[in-house]
Amino acid sequence: MSDGKVAIGAQLDFSEPWSIFRVMADFVNGYDSLKNLGPSVTVFGSARTQSDNRYYKAAQKLGYMLAENGFNVVTGGSAGIMEAANRGAYGSGGGKSIGLNIELPREQASNAYLDLSLKFDYFFARKVMLVKYSYAYIIFPGGFGTMDELFEALTLVQTRKIFPIGIFLIGVDYYKPLIDFIRSSMVNDDAISKEDADLIKLTDDLNEVINFTKERVSARIGEMEEMGLTKLTDYARLKKLQETHRRGS
């Protein structure tokens, strides 16, 4: 037909199935690059947070503390809170600083504090990689993207698809209204259970995050030993991490 509508439709019908290979490439790149990473923690938060902001400073300090305790620090690889956490971990002599960035029409530049930087075409593939290899998730103040990542992690834990050591919200002032809503409206209306609400730890105490995570590493090792899972790679990694914690005590 002369109006071109059929041609455009045919082009879309032809090209869309081929995007599957780009999706596969995202996952293959992620799995191949991160599979031997070792114990990691993912930090989420706004890309708009400036370096003089108290949450930027807290994320930088926490990134350093995590790396010093043997954890790799994984972020979305861009600016703001992500940059701060990577900056704290980078060059610490402990865990590595990892950034998983996203290709956008207006390029989202990677920050300068990365030992390993990956780029993804698809948000959903990137999000899988941000949670798959981490033992804990730490969420600083952020916008829609951060909320999406928070509730994705909560849904995966609630449905027992993943088993992290902890989910932490940093920023009591920022997140208390959200926690109040979850504990009142969501729980009271039976949209979620009280146990679901208890998956979240709200705090501004960075030492509490570190100490709880270390305690849960030891508890997870005990659980794996009771279940006879001592031959798993994860068990060996956790035992090695536990030794790091003991040497640092």
pLDDT digits (tens, 9 = 90+) for 192-213: 999 999 999 999 999 999 999 9
Q: What pLDDT is attached to residue 107? A: 56
If you average pLDDT over every residue of the chain, what do you get? 90
Looking at residues 202-231, what average pLDDT do you find?
Answer: 94
All residues at 6 or more sequence positions from 160 whose CB lies less than 8 Å from its CB, including other chains: none
Q: Count the Cβ atoms, other than its own, within 10 Å of residue 140.
A: 27
What single DSSP character describes residue 84? H
Looking at residues 130-137, what average pLDDT do you find?
Answer: 94
Q: Is the confidence at residue 2, as pLDDT, over 90?
A: no
Which tokens belong to 101? 């960035």
**Residue 134 to residue 151: CA distance in whole angstroms:** 16
Q: Is the confidence at residue 10, as pLDDT, over 60?
A: no
Q: What is the pLDDT of residues 160-194, one digit of tens each?
A: 999 899 999 999 999 999 999 999 999 999 999 99
CATH number of 20-206: 3.40.50.450
Q: Are 120 and 31 in contact (CB under 8 A)?
A: no
Q: What pLDDT is attached to residue 15? A: 64
SS3 label, residue 166: strand
Helix, strand counts (H, E) of the chain:
10, 7
Nearest by Cα to 55 from 167, 148, 169, 131? 169
pTM over 0.85, yes/no? yes
